[in-house]
Chains A and B, each alone.
Chain A
């Protein structure tokens, strides 16, 4: 074990500084949401008052965000898992082109996608004013992440041989898909699901244009709060958002860390 040189400590200090840069405002804003008076600072004492006001005033946005995120998950599962399967089975130029196409809503700015939806469906009254309109934008944006996550797992296993094995035992396509293919890409589905829910809950660029006063998601409500209300309420609102989303992010990180493989019995 070599002695840690000065280079190591310099880099460590750098990494810590970057960390502080990212985390300090998070902590500060969480504190601000609990401070009685932001101008005065922490000396004015801590209180739940602002969080309470957020709950009474913005409860619906929280529920709508959760609802849309779950609906988005359902849609991406139904649309995305079969797509990933097709892309895993066929690797030619057409599949590459399909993947490119799929990624476009992520590459194209949310603003443009939202505008495009509005100019096309803005006239369809019922659709335009319902939460489904927002859902459509979210699904477009999160679908590539579900597909990519599931596709990664499918490419890592020997899909063709597994399917041929099942077919040799008499399984039809439907049986093969549900008994063998789906269970073996479970980790990809879980990772993709977490990603989809997290992204949906945090989506703003599209949602800001797609929403109506009756359909506000949490980030939209946040923007309203910043613009119009006391900083304390906006901070408390942000705190609520963090409480919802940080556990999801941590879960995603925990799952993506490679787990130690089980020891194989080599003796015959």
Chain B
């Protein structure tokens, strides 16, 4: 079937050429540019050596990790609940929960302002309740809320899809052996969802690491890695540093996803 192999190769060529020209080649260039200028390859070490850069790396990692954990808990509870309980309005709830799927970071940032800004909803509520207006849109807390906001829709779909495939007989067996609902959840459901948690959690983490629009909208003072890269590029015109940092950021997120894929087994569906 050699002729077939040639046909398949020909079919692959357009996408392959496009990819090579506009992704692989540029990434290689980026790597080289990152090593250009005064620092040379030492530029790649600045992420650790430069105090500012290192701080922002840690902040970004912490933010991404916190986002992932909180999102997984929320999506886990809500997702399994919606998957298993049929009631009127279930579909509407699911639709509403997955609506923000394609909102750009700018809009997310705006959502955060609407909720937690100076005229925000949370501020109004807290003022009515306690007399003090809570405003946190322009800080890390606001950014965190924004990240959770766009992560929930992405993760909840995967959780629901996996919950659907759980074998109810395993839970029935646990119950027949006397397990309480909490034990069933802890010992059967959560382990059953583990692959979904790992795969979707990895995507959540990677997306939070690389998210830019939200931080950009909220303020340029927030010290996360994508913002540092941006300011290096536009305000400082330090292309080499920007290139090196973004290459490292890209490599880190890609490694996280690859590790998660092998841990979970099978292809990881990037919900986008």
A and B in direct contact, judged by CB atoms within 8 A: yes
Q: Is the CB of B210 within 8 A of A140?
A: no
Interface positions of B from 217 to 269, Cβ below 8 Å from A = 217, 226, 229-230, 233, 239, 242-243, 246-247, 249-250, 253-254, 257-258, 267, 269
Q: Is the CB of A79 within 8 A of B18?
A: yes
Q: In the complex, which residue of chain B has the Cβ closest to the Cβ of A204? A: B104
Interface size bucket, B side?
A: 35 or more
Is A202 an interface residue, CB under 8 A from the partner? yes
Interface size bucket, A side?
A: 35 or more
CB distance from B261 to the nearest CB of A (A): 8
Is A48 an interface residue, CB under 8 A from the partner? no
30 A-B Cβ contacts within 8 A? A12-B87, A14-B81, A15-B81, A18-B97, A22-B96, A22-B100, A25-B121, A26-B99, A26-B100, A29-B114, A86-B8, A86-B12, A89-B4, A102-B15, A104-B23, A107-B253, A107-B254, A108-B253, A111-B212, A112-B30, A112-B250, A113-B23, A173-B7, A202-B104, A219-B107, A223-B213, A226-B109, A226-B217, A248-B102, A249-B99
Q: Is the CB of A121 within 8 A of B26?
A: yes
Q: In the complex, which residue of chain B has the Cβ closest to the Cβ of A96? A: B267
Chain A neighbourhood of B47, CB < 8 A = none
Chain A neighbourhood of B98, CB < 8 A = 249, 253
User: Residues 65-109 of chain A: 1 if any B CB is under 8 Å from the residue's CB, otherwise 0?
Assistant: 000000000000011101101100110000000111111111111
Q: Is the CB of A223 within 8 A of B217?
A: yes
Q: In the complex, which residue of chain A has the Cβ closest to the Cβ of B111? A: A25
Interface positions of A from 14 to 56, Cβ below 8 Å from B = 14-16, 18-19, 21-26, 28-29, 32, 38-39
Interface positions of B from 103 to 151, Cβ below 8 Å from A = 103-107, 109-112, 114-115, 119, 121, 149
**How far, in angstroms, from A238 to B181 measured CA to CA in the complex?**
44
**How far, in angstroms, from A116 to B226 measured CA to CA in the complex?**
14
Q: Which of A104, A115, A203 contacts B104 (CB 8 A)?
A: A203
**How far, in angstroms, from A26 to B150 measured CA to CA in the complex?**
12
CB distance from B164 to the nearest CB of A (A): 10
Chain A neighbourhood of B41, CB < 8 A = none
A contacts, CB < 8 Å to B: 7-8, 11-12, 14-16, 18-19, 21-26, 28-29, 32, 38-39, 78-80, 82-83, 85-86, 89-90, 98-113, 115-117, 119-121, 136, 139-140, 143-145, 148, 173, 195, 198-199, 201-205, 208-209, 219, 222-223, 226, 234-235, 238, 241, 245-246, 248-250, 253, 257
Q: Which 7 A-B pairs have the closest CB atoms?
A: A109-B210, A116-B26, A204-B104, A112-B246, A82-B11, A108-B250, A25-B111
Residues of B contacting A: mostly: helix
Chain A neighbourhood of B104, CB < 8 A = 202-204, 219, 222
Q: Is the CB of A15 within 8 A of B30?
A: no
**Given the interface contacts A32-B114, A115-B233, does A18 sit within 8 Å of B149 by beta carbon?**
no
Q: In the complex, which residue of chain A has the Cβ closest to the Cβ of B226? A: A111
Q: Is the CB of A116 within 8 A of B78?
A: no
